[in-house]
Amino acid sequence: MESQNRSEYDAWKRKRKSKPNAIQRDQKKAETLKSEVPVESLKLEKWEEFEKLPISAKTKSGLRKHGYLKPTSIQQAAIPTALQNKDVLGAAKTGSGKTLAFIIPVLECLFKNNWNNLDGPGALIISPTRELAYQIFDVLRKVGCKHTFSAGLVIGGTKLKEESHHLCRTNIIVSTPGRLLQHLDETSYFNFDNLKVLVLDEADRILDMGFRSTLNAILENLPNTRQTLLFSATQTRSVKDLAMLSLQDPVLVSVHAESLHSTPAGLKQRYLVCDLSNKLNILYSFIRTHLKCKVLVFVSSCKQVLYMYSLLCKLRPGIPLLHLHGRMNQQRRMLTYQEFCRKQFVVLISTDLAARGLDFPKVNWVVQLDCPEDAETYIHRAGRTARFHEHGNSLLVLLNSEKEEMLKELKKLNVPIEGSEINLDKLVQTRSWFQSFCAQDKELKERAQRCFVSYIKSVHLMKNKKIFSVENLPLQAYAESLGLAFPPRLRFLQRKFQEGVEKGSGLLTQSDKGKPIDDFAQFGNEDDECEDSLFSIAKVSSFSCDMSNELPFKQEIDDKVNHLTSNKKTSKAATAKRMLKKGLKLNQKIKYDEAGKVSEAWPPLEENHKGSLGGIDINQAKALMKVRDEQDREKQQIKIKEKHKQARLKAKQERKLVHDSREGVDAECQLGSGDSGDGSGSDNEQSDPGFSYQTTDLAVDEDDFDQSIISTDDDNESEDTHPVHKRRKVDTKYNPNVMLTLQEKEDLALQLLHS
């Protein structure tokens, strides 16, 4: 029996060896294709379907399962080159399918090297934002669903320890630069010694100044012998950037380099020119007229997103509203991203966080409410619509000072854009609504102030000063359009001015260096060509009224501004001397009535010393406090007396009610006896004190009663002045069924006869 089982096992083993497994078949097929049709000799016209490309069956199965059948132009050009293990610089229009162009080579590279979990990280994909990394990871899971590789999404907003446990066994890592560098610094057993492929999506943004230092630190931990793939819609060609990445004979793949336009063909682009104070009116009117559309609105800063979202929620335009910015936590960001992708009609207000790489389905309009930093940023923003041969619309809102230079920049990159005008009939004025909201809600007003400062700061920090200039902005009108009465103080411009004065930089010209700051205090002066007016904007805009007739008050404000902007600390004594020198009197309080007369003053006007320079007279204050104390005591005594008087009156009223009720009971008692028919027996005394009332004891003289009820001038008069007769404690219960004895009847009859 054992020999028979052994022979059957040997036969099965020989059959198993003769039949290769799935991995061996894929490897053999790939090697056969490589030998029969070398990748170097591929002609792009022949590979119109993924089935004909020399890739593994598992990759083809994943592509076929999720509907990826025909490659796009960038995929046709980049995939064969990347399969030859060459460095690639891929450039194509937005929405052309660049993600698949580097995911397929990554999967094929690891598949050919028989990569497994023990080999550690073999491919690294870096993206500038978390949302883009999530999107890349989602496409990777779809295409590589048949492979056995492990993949991980390493982004911020999650626990570091949980990620570190799985990193060493992860084959493909999709990450953002900051989170990846944190793992390299804090996770000791995490390394990229066996890395084969490095991918930079949106490479020009990652190589920008914002990520340069982080990327340099990451590249120091990567091996030099690797394949590097760079993809972006606006690809960098800087020699310095390419040398930093240690590229070896990179191949530039730019499929749309010879096209007429750098934006998708189905994208219709327009621009309009308006005043800065009219932007929010245009935004609200646009949303109200496009309720059956999916709209993506771009602004410059996070605080603008928060304020505009709050305002539009209060106005209730009739369409769902969402907002997205970098200060939101990871969970809220992902929920907002997924909700905007899912809904058909919705408005999303976002920063440039959503400008690159994100694939939002069926976006009808992209509105760039604030001018982009450069033409490349405009292309990325507008590329969120008209993706994959679809149609879309883009609207760029420009100021008069931005129009000329920005259109020149767009023309250099072959961006076709047409001018448009505002339909004044459909323009809604929202300024009064915003002012009402800010007056009612203090938190909303603070958001409006932060929105104002953040926008001015973003304009100030822009590199291209030909397009962006703070001096050309109507700050007062812009503040009023946000619902503010006057512009907030711009402290960063004040610091910039002070630094320029100390260092002697170009903030002041030679003819202006000797002038005081007040000479540059005119708001919105077009004749000033220097940047000195940057400081005066914040100071004068906070007090837009004419203060020429209020010189002492203006000097006080100037002293406070100089005190806040100076780095030197001043003592309290120095501040007091300065105020005394100005002739200002401190600790004063004056109230006026409707007629304009002084109703209350501290210190009292008639008691002020003529020669006093301000402050408080201690002796005078003590005497005044004594007088006030006596007045307060008198008022308190009057209140106590009034309280006692009310209590006495209440007690007397209660006694009167008791007296009236007892008189009624006595009358019923006499009627029940049958001996007094006219009721005059109420003044007579009965023989039995247990069933009778001493009416004489309860009777009160009419004069005495009136004096106890009516208040007199003498509040200190005690109750002894009007004594109250004491009543005898008797039994108030009366039983008419009890019969009188014969002796009692005789006594009662004698009393009646004598009366």
Q: Are residues 224 and 276 in the same domain?
A: no
| pLDDT value of residue 262 | 84
User: Each residue of 307-334: pLDDT tens digit?
Assistant: 999 999 999 999 999 999 999 988 899 9
Q: Are residues 59 and 188 in the same domain?
A: yes
User: Each residue of 661-689: pLDDT tens digit?
Assistant: 777 666 655 555 444 444 444 444 444 44
Q: Are residues 125 and 161 in the same domain?
A: yes
Would you place residue 502 in the very low, low, confident or very high pLDDT band (cuts 50, 70, 90)?
A: low
- pLDDT higher than 50, residue 303: yes
The residue-averaged pLDDT of 590-602 equals 73
Q: Is residue 465 part of a domain?
A: no
Would you place residue 592 in the very low, low, confident or very high pLDDT band (cuts 50, 70, 90)?
A: confident
- pLDDT higher than 60, residue 562: no
User: Each residue of 445-501: pLDDT tens digit?
Assistant: 999 999 999 999 999 999 899 999 998 899 999 999 999 998 998 888 877 767 665
Q: Are residues 147 and 294 in the same domain?
A: no
- pLDDT higher than 80, residue 617: no
- pLDDT higher than 60, residue 99: yes
- Estimate the share of the chain in helix, then strand, then coil, as percent rounded to the nearest 5: 50, 10, 40
Q: How far is CA 367 from CA 89, 347, 358, 464, in A?
A: 30, 10, 16, 22
Q: Are residues 247 and 290 in the same domain?
A: no
Q: Is residue 314 part of a domain?
A: yes
- Residues of the chain with pLDDT > 90: what percent? 42
Is residue 303 within 8 Å of residue 458, measured between CB atoms?
no
The residue-averaged pLDDT of 386-394 equals 88
Highest mean pLDDT pick, 117-121, 188-192, 415-419: 415-419
Choose between 131 and 5: higher pLDDT: 131
The residue-averaged pLDDT of 187-198 equals 90
Q: Is residue 672 part of a domain?
A: yes
Q: Is residue 609 part of a domain?
A: no
The residue-averaged pLDDT of 65-90 equals 91
The residue-averaged pLDDT of 5-26 equals 57
CATH of the domain at 399: 3.40.50.300
**Domain span at 501:** 489-544
Between 127-141, 261-275, 563-577, the lowest mean confidence (pLDDT) is in: 563-577
Residue-wise DSSP of 27-41: HHHHHHHHHHS-GGG
- pLDDT higher than 80, residue 25: no
- pLDDT higher than 80, residue 208: no
Residue type at position 555? Q
Q: Are residues 333 and 248 in the same domain?
A: no
Would you place residue 164 in the very low, low, confident or very high pLDDT band (cuts 50, 70, 90)?
A: confident
Q: Are residues 673 and 723 in the same domain?
A: yes
Cα-flanking dihedrals φ and ψ of residue 61, to 5°? -65, -40
| Total residue count of the chain as it appears in this document | 755
Sign of CA dihedral 647, 648, 651, 656: negative
Q: Are residues 189 and 304 in the same domain?
A: no
Domain end, chosen from 254, 289, 310, is at 254
Domain end, chosen from 225, 254, 283, is at 254
The residue-averaged pLDDT of 723-732 equals 47
Would you place residue 721 in the very low, low, confident or very high pLDDT band (cuts 50, 70, 90)?
A: very low
pTM of the model: 0.60
Residue-wise DSSP of 487-551: PPP-HHHHHHHHHHHHHT-TTS-TTTTTS-GGGG--TT-SS--STTHHHHHHHHHT--S--TT-H
| pLDDT value of residue 484 | 94
Domain end, chosen from 222, 254, 286, is at 254
Would you place residue 345 in the very low, low, confident or very high pLDDT band (cuts 50, 70, 90)?
A: very high
- pLDDT higher than 90, residue 580: no
Q: Is residue 683 part of a domain?
A: yes
| pLDDT value of residue 37 | 41
Would you place residue 359 in the very low, low, confident or very high pLDDT band (cuts 50, 70, 90)?
A: confident
Q: Are residues 135 and 181 in the same domain?
A: yes
Q: Are residues 282 and 407 in the same domain?
A: yes
- pLDDT higher than 50, residue 433: yes
Choose between 495 and 527: higher pLDDT: 495
- Residues of the chain with pLDDT > 70: what percent? 70
Domain count, the chain: 4
CB count within 10 Å of CB 741 equals 10
User: Quick check: helix, strand or coil at residue 656?
Assistant: helix
| pLDDT value of residue 709 | 40
Between 142-146, 354-358, 580-584, 732-736, the lowest mean confidence (pLDDT) is in: 732-736
- pLDDT higher than 60, residue 49: yes
Q: Are residues 239 and 383 in the same domain?
A: no
- pLDDT higher than 50, residue 550: no
- pLDDT higher than 50, residue 518: no
Q: Is residue 599 part of a domain?
A: no
- Bridge-partner residues for 368, per DSSP? 298, 396
| pLDDT value of residue 527 | 34
Q: Are residues 170 and 271 in the same domain?
A: no
- pLDDT higher than 50, residue 613: no
**Measured between alpha carbons, how far is 79 from 59 in angstroms, rounded to an integer?**
13
Q: Is residue 308 part of a domain?
A: yes
- pLDDT higher than 80, residue 742: no
Q: Which residues contact 205 (CB under 8 A, 6 or more apart)?
A: 128, 211, 232, 356
Between 141-150, 365-374, 538-547, 580-589, the lowest mean confidence (pLDDT) is in: 538-547
Q: What is the mean pLDDT of the chain?
A: 77
Q: Is residue 462 part of a domain?
A: no
